[in-house]
Amino acid sequence: MIPLLAGGRAAVRINDIRMGGPIQTNAQQASYLVADILPPPANIIEADLEATLLRQRPGNLMVRKDKLAALRKDFETSNQHWRKSTIEPGIRNALTNDA
């Protein structure tokens, strides 16, 4: 009976650590999170730069408009990715709502 229980427990633990299992998936999500926020994403920094340039030269609205739209799309794509992720809810909320 004990070997059967030990075998069952081992099978559960192996499932936890296998590729695609919960431990590997959480570690992969954490890596993606770090890659997405450190250093700050270009779509955030560039948007600030574009807004500053537009403020300095309002006549360049048409030049900046397309770039700002593309940066907004990149931001929204990243935001939607994190909204659907399985990371810890507090971190997910900070990334998707608080940011």
* CA distance readout (Å), 16 to 3, 23, 25, 65, 67: 20, 6, 10, 48, 44
pTM: predicted TM-score of the whole model, two decimal places: 0.57
Provide the pLDDT for residue 67: 86
Which position has the token pair 């992720």? 85
Which uninterrupted H or E stretch holds 20? none
**Residue 71 confidence (pLDDT):** 84
Q: Which residues of the chain carry a pLDDT beneath 50? A: none
How far apart CA 40 and CA 48 sit, in angstroms, is 12
Q: Are residues 20 and 53 in the same domain?
A: no
Pair (30, 45) in one structural domain: no
Same domain, 85 and 75: yes
Residue 84 lies in domain: 39-99
Helix or strand holding residue 31 (H, E): helix 22-37
Domain count, the chain: 2
On whether both 53 and 91 belong to a single domain, the answer is yes
Tokens of 86: 């399985």
Quote the pLDDT of residue 99: 65
> 48 with 90, same domain?
yes
Same domain, 51 and 29: no
